[in-house]
Every structure is written in C-alpha cells, then in structure tokens.
Amino acid sequence: MLEALVYALTLALFSFVILATARMRHDMMLLSCIPPTFMAIVMGFIMALYSADQFGWALVVLAVTLPGPIAWRLSRRYSPRDLLITIYLAWAAGLVSALAAFAFPDPV
C-alpha cells in the first residue's frame, strides 16, 4: 500500500510539472522548463506503466488528473517567475519521491 502511495505521489508531481509548463506564459522561461518536463515525461511514462500493471489504471488516472486544476489555478495566480520556481520545486520533490519509489523491492 505504501508503494502505491509513493508511486501516486510521484506521478502527481510529474504531472504537475508537465501541466504547469503547458500553462507557462513567458517565452524565455518556457525554455527553462525543458529539462524538468522532459524528465517528467520519460520517468512518468515508465512509472505509469509499472503502476498500472501493479496497482491498476484507476490509481494512474487519479494521480495524473489531480494536479490539473492546481496547475491551472497557480498559473493564473503566480507570475511566470514564481511558476517556474514551483515547477522546479515539484520536479525536485518528484525526483526524491521517485528515488524512494525505485527503492521498493520488485515483486517476485
């Protein structure tokens, strides 16, 4: 159960990175979002496939769609600079969470 929560948290953070980047209004800051978005797409895709296989698609769909309204609201409330900071903070938290998720033993 703990493994499913860690994977869901990681997927939600990576989904926030992708969705908040899509709402970025500043052109030059959008270029700064390329590294976190690329890693979030690649790692999130692999983790979503594993999560769907182990815990079911409902968890994956919930974890991926939950950050949507949050990213939309923060992009309207924050300036592009502050949104970039939240994107990088979510990316860093997602990487730490992914490290914890990958530490769980594989099912036999």
Q: How far is CA 88 from the centre of its chain?
A: 11
In the chain, where the domains are located = 2-98
Give the predicted TM-score (pTM) of the model.
0.92
- Separation in Å, CA 75 to CA 18, 23, 28, 92, 108: 12, 6, 16, 19, 43
Q: How far is CA 46 from the centre of its chain?
A: 12
pLDDT tens digits for 19-75?
Answer: 999 999 888 888 999 999 999 999 999 999 999 999 999 999 999 999 999 999 999
User: Tokens in use for 72?
Assistant: 């939309």
Contacts of 60 (CB under 8 A, 6+ apart): 11, 48, 51, 52
